[in-house]
Chains A and B, each alone.
Chain A
């Protein structure tokens, strides 16, 4: 309890310390590889073929992770205009524009956090358009800047059931990356190393899933904001054994909380689902607002997007093709509705917040009426807040807060 005697609105998870150390080690290794050439560096999209890259010995860097850091450090709104000025519209992905702005202005939160002058220089850029087309355009900027090869996978989108035809095509695309990766890494492809990496990544996924599923417990031992912090290793270190051990210890801590009946929010009364991207620069304020009203955001589409259960060591290529295609963002509206209905049931959700992020239509699931259909089918109320992941110029705090509070009032008045 803080000195003023009021209960804390945000409770620290003990494992945050070890996690910071792990992330520090990850960035130091990247920096070292970039400076000394001790290992080749691959840039990869956040749900791209990281396992394949790691199996060649690449150190893997994820620009989207940097995008999130630019958002949470609130540097983004100052950097986006620099990208706008060289022709990137303020309407496109603000991860892209803030990252390009960061490159142009030579300003990065990596300096303060990890003592790095900037992101590691890439030897190769590897994308998967499963999430959006912006990632390809984003990497293309760096391809022109660094004059390094850019290769990738073009995944079909809005998929209902995943068919053999989908998978065959994607397996072919994954295999087609191998010769370029061999050339750039100077390492021959080794199927056993790939199997090992895929197994390790799958183990990480299982650990991360346990973390998120711990929030099914009432009261929830973690919030959405905790999820966004602790997902770091699941994003950037999947395929590395350190991520697996990290989630073992985090799961143990959350199990302790569950056993002791300790919730992330004191006196938890309302349980919310967050759909869409976080408003990175306002995540803390959102957590405090919900917490002060005894409400906890217990689950999100976002944090669940780094669960890759399809990964399979016995058939690593098909497993990767499946795992990176079954993701929510790649799927049809019908699939998304079924998925969200399942989440609402599993987590005992009272209300849903849809964040319509101006610059990311791919993660704004209110645009084709899904929110209305879901409220009709489940009777669970929702609000839509208009904002953005990184560009705070597109976010109206007052309007969002009023909507959050009004939704909680609505639940409270029904409960009286």
Chain B
């Protein structure tokens, strides 16, 4: 086809996301799979799927950048960049200007502050603990015996919010037992769990300026964005396909050439 495509692949702790884009960041294909145990094979499978979607071949790939925890395990990548860098690039692509990027991932959270030009001012990562991450919500769904996909609808429809005060995922599950025993509504517990995720993020940083929320949790549970806006009193923008923000940032980094800055 002779198209110049840039590939960004984000090998996260839970899911691998891949994006094919042109030099201006316009996306032609996306693919996502559970990262599994063989990161290289998963990344390859995502690439094959995305190439098929885009009607392209490997010969069309100009450069590939890998990001995420498994960034060192992508054999077809020309370079790697951290997910902190890529989430910044991806978010700034959709929301140009000075922004605060909040990425809620499967296993960790990041806050990345960017200036007008998209240059990074600073960043924070959560402590090494699943509190406030996607893994926390998975555990809560398990405890409540609900499919993960049902959480958002329940949280949105909730009339109240049960306060979960524990930092620890395991303790929060025990806390839920107490609430259930006392007759709390499941929907209120789910909304409380969402609020607890937001609370963990608010504890990381004062979150100034315009907030852009990225990551898989925002994709699957959009109500989190509403709660974040409510709790911070700030505008919260969720870019299209928030789960792919890091992969898109990697593709943009790839288009910028070696260094990806």
Residues of A within 8 A of B (CB): 375, 381, 386, 395-396, 398-399, 402-403, 405-406, 409-410, 412-414, 416
Contacts and interface: CB of A to CB of B under 8 A. Distances in A.
B210 interface: no
Contact of B261 (A381, A398, A402, A409): A409
A416 B259 contact: yes
A398 to B, nearest CB: 5
Contacts of B123: 406, 410
Interface stretch (B80-88, B153-161, B166-174, B192-200): B80-88
A413 B115 CA distance: 13
Contacts of A410: 85, 120, 122-123
Interface in B114-160: 119-120, 122-123, 125, 127-128
Interface residues of B, number: 16
B119 A409 contact: no
B69 interface: yes
A398 B126 CA distance: 13
Contacts, number: 41
Contacts of A395: 128
Q: Which of A399, A410, A416 has the most CB of B within 10 A?
A: A410
A416 B261 contact: yes
Contacts of B81: 409
A375 B122 contact: yes
A375 B123 CA distance: 12
Given A409-B261, A412-B259, A413-B261, A402 B120 contact: no
B71 to A, nearest CB: 9
Consensus secondary structure, chain A interface: helix
A402 B127 contact: no
A406 B84 contact: yes
Contacts of B119: 413-414
Contact of B128 (A386, A405, A414): A386
Contacts of A406: 82, 84-85, 123
Contact of B120 (A386, A398, A413): A413
A81 B107 CA distance: 27
Contacts of B188: none
27 contacts: A375-B122, A386-B127, A386-B128, A395-B128, A396-B128, A398-B69, A399-B108, A402-B69, A402-B82, A402-B125, A403-B84, A403-B125, A405-B82, A406-B82, A406-B84, A406-B123, A409-B81, A409-B84, A410-B85, A410-B120, A410-B122, A410-B123, A412-B259, A413-B261, A414-B119, A416-B259, A416-B261
Nearest to A387: B128
